[in-house]
Every structure is written in C-alpha cells, then in structure tokens.
Chain A
C-alpha cells in the first residue's frame, strides 16, 4: 500500500508524461481529418453547418459529388489515378535503370553524373513552369497530342524529374545487393538485361515500392504544372479540379468538397500506411548512413 503513490509518480516521470504528450499530438494530428470526415457526412453543405461534428450522417454529399456535371469528380479521380500510376511506374523504371548503371558499372563520367544529379534535383521542376508552358505550347504546334491540354504531355514533363533524388535512393539500395549475385548469374550465361530484369529488380522490390509511392503521391498532389497544362475541366487532376471547385464558392461547396477530399485522400493514405515500414526506411536511409 505504501509503495503505490510512489510508483505512480515514478511511472509518470518515466513514461506517463510521454503518454500525455503523445495523446495531445494525436488529437492535433487527427482532429482536422476527423473534421473533414464529419463535414463530408453532413448534408447541410455549408462551412458553418459543418461545425457540429458527426451530428448527422448522410451520404448525400458523396452522391452529389458524382452527379454534378460542373464538377466531374469521377473524371478527376480517374485522371489523377492514371497520371499518378503511369508516372509512378515509369519513374521507377527509369530510375532503376539509371541506378543499376551507377551501381554496377564503372564508366567515365560516373562520379560527375552522380554529382550533377544531386545538383539538378535541388532545383524543383516547377520553378521553370513558364518555360515548360512555352515548350509545351510549341510542341502543340507539331504534336497536339503531346502539347498543352494533354495528360500524356504532363506525364512526360513529370518524367523529367524521374531521376534525381529517386536515383539516389535506389542507388544506395542497389549497392546493398551483393555483386556476387550478378557475377554468379553472369557465369550461368545471363545477359545484363536478364540480370537486371529477373534478378536485381526482384531483390530491390522494397525501394521500388517506396520510389513508386513517393512519385505517385508527388504527381497526384502536384498543382503548379498540372494547372498550367490541363486547361479543360474534364482532363484535370484532383488537385486542380478540387481547388477551382472550392475556390469559387468556398463556403457553400464545403461539404461536397469535404466528401471529395475524403475520397481523394483515401487511396494515398491507405497506400502510405500499407507501405509505411518501407517509406520510413527510405526516408531515414538518407539521414543514417
């Protein structure tokens, strides 16, 4: 009996206060997300009506999201997924090829190549958004299918950033795969392409997943270039479409926007949580070398 209060104090000094801090931050972190969820289920529609959390629950906003022709949410969603997936897959492929070359081959200009990649990636692509716009409008004259207004054109622009930091992440991971595996395969008569496609790519799958996911998140959330390239509402992505939708009539469209936000965030958050382990590994790989 005498020990108990002493123990409680000790517990609090040791780990108890950590729970308090943790809980406080969890509230701050999760609250806005719960608020969006609540607003999306509130049939009231306006911003002020969304303040009573979870008072009414109704799917009407979700229905409205898919029935209003001014705001083709289904198309935006599809566009974002297609652009994000294609960009993600191609980014992984281009980055992995470059990382394979840097990791496994020794050639002239290798060090300089790695160094220039690091320098180039310091300058984000969207800084040159004016030049990208003018370049694409010039391409439109030759190839309407790749120029302004074209999602394929936008994907090509995004692939301009496929190397850079991605190659770095992959390069580090490729180096952890023993070279003896390649050599054994080579002795068995495998060509460099066979080694790359059927051996290395399988062994480095975790980093491919991370890079693919980061690229997917990056391209689905990208606003600057997408808003300049995709002018037609039916070809826009979620970032561009939802922004214009909500910025026009901020307060009135609120709960429909919230429903859109919930649906838009779901795939990204789900993927993120599923691959969390790898992402954390990828992020900290840079810091802890």
Chain B
C-alpha cells in the first residue's frame, strides 16, 4: 500500500514512461467522456493524494468529530434529544463518506456544500412551515414548563421572614452562577433555570462564607460592578418546585428568597393568586381566569392549525391591507421587470452599433448604478426625493413640495422609478450579450427582403432574444417579488395605511410585511403569522415559476 503511494510520488518519470504507451488505447476504447472515474482504478486514485492530504483529512475529520462529541454532551445536558440524534447521524454519515473510497467520491465533493444547504436553506423552510402552524410569538416563545416557571417568578415579593443568604458570584463559560451560604452554613450553587444544588467542596473564608468552587471562576469586585445588571437579574430557584420561590440579590453580597403571590398547583394544572382567583390552561397556550378574560403572561407555544392563515385573511386589521400588499407586490414585480427590460433593451440596441465611438465609456458609465450597493442606493434616493429638503424638489423643481415618498401613489411611482435606475444596467448587460449572439445573416436576409429596421426588430430580433432571455426575466420577476432592500431603504413600506393600526403601508411588499410582523418595532412580534405569510410567498413564487417555465418552453418550441 505504501509502496504504491511512494511510486506515485517519487518515481513519477518512470511511471509515466511505463504507463503511457499502454493506456491511450484503453482510454480511447473505453468512452472517455462518460466515465472519467474508471472502475478499474478507484483504489489507486483515492489513495494517492499523498501523506499531506491524508493528514489534513484525518485532522479535519478529527476536529469535526470532537466538535460533534462536545455538542452532543451539551445537548444531552439540555435534554435536546432530537438534535442529538441528528448530530450523531450526520457525523456518522460524514465519517462514512470520507473514510471510504471509490463510489463515495462524488459525495466527498458534494457533502460540505450540501450540509449547509440542507441546514440553512431546506431545513429552515420546513421549519417555517412548522412555525406557521403555531402561535409562536412574543409571550408565546417557550414551553409550558418555562411559562410556569416564569409566571411563578414574575411579580414576586420578598418573603417577609426570609433568611439572608451570603453569596459570591461565580462564572463558568459565559453564564454567571450564585454560590450561596445558607444561615446554617451549607453552601449551594445555582443559576437562572438551574435550581440550587448543595455542594460540599466549596472554599470558605474565615467567616464561613463560601467564596469559590473548583471548576468555577470567582468574580472580583470590579467584575461584579461591571456585570451588575446581569447579576441582579439572576433568579435562582430554591428547588425544582416553582412554588418554593427563588433567590435574588440587589447588592451582589446577600440574597433573599422571593415568592410570587401566584401559586402553581401541578396536579390541577392551575395558578391561584392570593385572592383565591384560579387561572387554568385555556388550550390556547395561556393560563386564563376561569370566569373572566384575564390571562397570565407569558404563555407558551402550542399548535394552532390554520389559525394564522385564517387570521391573515379574516382579521379586519389585517385582511384588507394584506390584499392590497399582495396586489402591489405583483404590480411592483411586473412593472419592475417590464420597465428595466424595456430600458435595458432600448439602451442595448442604441449602443450596440458598430460605428458608434466611445461605446466602452458609455457602457462603463451606464452600468455604474448596478455596481453601487443596492442598500445605499435606496437611502441615497430617499435623500434625493425628500419632499422638503431633497435635491429633486429643491433644485430641479425649483422649490416645489411634491410629496414623492409620502403620497401613496407618488411613493409607488418613486419606488418603481428608483428600481428602474437600479435594475436597467443588468438588463442592458444581458440584452447586449444576447443581441451580439444573434446571427448576422438573419438581419441581412430580412434587409434584402426590404423589411424596415423596426419590422426586423419586432418580428425577428425580439422573438429570438426573448427565447434566450425569458428564463432571466422569470428570475428577475422572482427577485423583484422579494426586493426587500429597495422598498425598505427607500420608503420602509410607508406611507402607512390609514385603515389599520399595524405598521403596513402602500409600498410594502409581502417580504417587508413579513419582516415587520416578525421583527418590527412596537407591537407584538408574531413569528407564527410572519411564517404563515412566508409560506404564502413560497406558494405564490412556486405557482408563478411553474406557469412561467411552462410558457417559456412553449415559446422555445415555437421558435426552434
């Protein structure tokens, strides 16, 4: 085995001489194009990458495996069983791919890119689909267990006769821990979400206060001051029963027991407050007062079926604006493609003339908008079009007060115009390329037959051009359907609709609406609803693409 490696590396010249005369015939007879990987030699090819490659491979695989093992340990600690399974499976498959030889060769080249693709593009889409059927949102973003713990600790008051616990702040990794010494001298450690656990190997100072623990780092005074906010926000449960209360500190030296006036009854699954009012699980991810509408916050995540989709199309706050947004998204995408293509094609025809001087200079200058980062263009145009101070109104229109970005229709016009400025260079480049590849003879033959230039263009050049450019036009439509940057940077989707209190406006596309619903300022971040809208976009794009590609295939067949 090593002998084989050696021969390849060191005795290259002789190897070449020995092999050369024999193999050409073999290569010529055995259909060279179809099987670059000949079955006769996979063993040799996979082994001859040399010692360096082998070491690199082992090192990388080793790193990956070590990382995987560590991840699994952490995830087991957090009881994340499904991710553990997936990690073990994926690591196993990757090892199997890279430790094998022969048939697994294509997989070796595909595995890295495909892993990223599966996790961050395919999985997230599937995950979006799942979120769309839940009530995932601010106040509903965790499990019921967490919600119970959170309700139990919210609105807590210090227990009147609570003893004082001496404490030290420790750190392991990023999280902070409280090491407390009870009045009876026992030391225990814990942090938010991790109830107190007694420890007997703590280091103690002369007063009997526990100050350190092996494996943890004690914070000194200045570090404690730096992280005061983080320390005072720690809530360390006294035990795993939320009704026992939790420890909190205000000064990072003494902690007291705090308890909520709401007590949780695990068997009945209800909360009872100090006045005896009972709150029970209402099936919608919240605890609700039995004979009333008051609910406790936070709630937790539950599956809600089609509720998000129903809400999007029936809620009076949402349905009307949503329809307008959908229509505008289609109009915007269509007009964007139409205007940029028309201008780009026109410019390509104008500048694609054999005797035109300075063609190259024109070409570089007119594609500059394409080279300028799109997010900056949006902001720059927002300045230029500013109704009060912008250059367009102040200088070009002599101080007019045209509300370019604040009137619904003018704002829509501005968005289309700015997108035309941004997008025509791409179409210009594409059309120039396509025009140059059209055969000259067709043109000449038509001219001999006496066709006018316009007629030649309309009946001959344009159809031929469309065949090659159609797929790009579809791609461009899909791109503009989701053209987030232009809208968000130029108008932020505004001017806002007056018939809803939500932050939705006349120039909002579906994608900017998704973003605002999920991450907008003010109001509830509704991840479930946003995902439902995302799914809607996915479906719309899929339908459009299928129809469009069918149509263009027809186009292609007609012309060929």
Contacts and interface: CB of A to CB of B under 8 A. Distances in A.
Interface in A105-163: 105-107, 110, 113, 120, 122-135, 138, 141-144, 156-157, 159-163
Nearest to B26: A187
B213 to A, nearest CB: 22
Most buried by A among B41, B365, B471, B511: B365
B541 A123 contact: yes
Given A130-B534, A135-B127, A29 B75 contact: no
Contacts of A47: 383, 386, 389-390
A126 B113 contact: no
Contact of B46 (A15, A36, A120, A191): A191
A287 interface: yes
Nearest to B530: A130
A235 B160 CA distance: 45
Contacts of B32: 179-180, 183
A143 B421 CA distance: 43
A223 B375 contact: yes
B264 interface: no
Contacts of A51: 389, 391, 394-395
Interface string A184-227: 00111111111010000000000000000000010011011001
Given A100-B109, A221-B375, A132 B48 contact: no
B391 to A, nearest CB: 5
B12 interface: yes
B78 A289 contact: no
Interface string B461-490: 000000011011001001100101100110
Given A18-B351, A22-B351, A29 B421 contact: yes
Contacts of B350: 18, 21-22
B442 to A, nearest CB: 15
B125 interface: yes
B124 interface: yes
Contacts of B88: none
A250 B41 CA distance: 66
A189 B20 CA distance: 11
B46 A192 contact: yes
A26 B364 CA distance: 9
A128 B125 contact: yes
A28 B420 CA distance: 11
A212 B116 CA distance: 17
B375 A251 contact: no
Given A35-B380, A261-B380, A29 B482 contact: no
B127 A128 contact: yes
B48 A128 contact: no
Interface residues of B, number: 123
B74 A143 contact: yes
B379 A160 contact: no
Nearest to A93: B112
B365 A29 contact: yes
A287 B53 CA distance: 39
Contacts of B382: 250
Interface string B158-194: 0000000000000001100000000000000000000
Nearest to B371: A272
Nearest to A237: B375
A62 interface: no
Contacts of B174: 144
B379 A246 contact: yes
B128 interface: yes
Contacts of B221: none
Nearest to A94: B113
Nearest to A157: B120
Top 6 A-B pairs, shortest CB-CB distance: A160-B120, A284-B433, A101-B109, A94-B113, A272-B371, A48-B389
Interface of A: 14-15, 18-19, 21-22, 25-26, 28-30, 32-33, 35-36, 39, 46-48, 50-51, 94-95, 97-98, 100-101, 104-107, 110, 113, 120, 122-135, 138, 141-144, 156-157, 159-164, 167, 179-180, 182-183, 186-194, 196, 217, 220-221, 223-224, 227-228, 239, 242-243, 246-247, 250-251, 254, 257-258, 261, 264-265, 268-269, 272-273, 276, 280, 283-284, 286-289
Interface of B: 8, 12, 15-16, 19-20, 23, 27, 32-37, 41, 45-50, 53, 71, 74-75, 78, 80, 83, 103, 105-106, 109-110, 112-114, 116-117, 119-125, 127-128, 131, 136, 173-174, 347, 350-351, 353, 355-358, 362, 364-377, 379-384, 386, 388-391, 394-395, 421, 425-426, 429-430, 432-434, 437, 468-469, 471-472, 475, 478-479, 482, 484-485, 488-489, 492, 511, 514-515, 518-519, 527, 530-531, 534, 537-538, 541-542, 545
8 contacts: A127-B514, A142-B74, A144-B174, A161-B121, A163-B114, A192-B45, A246-B379, A284-B430
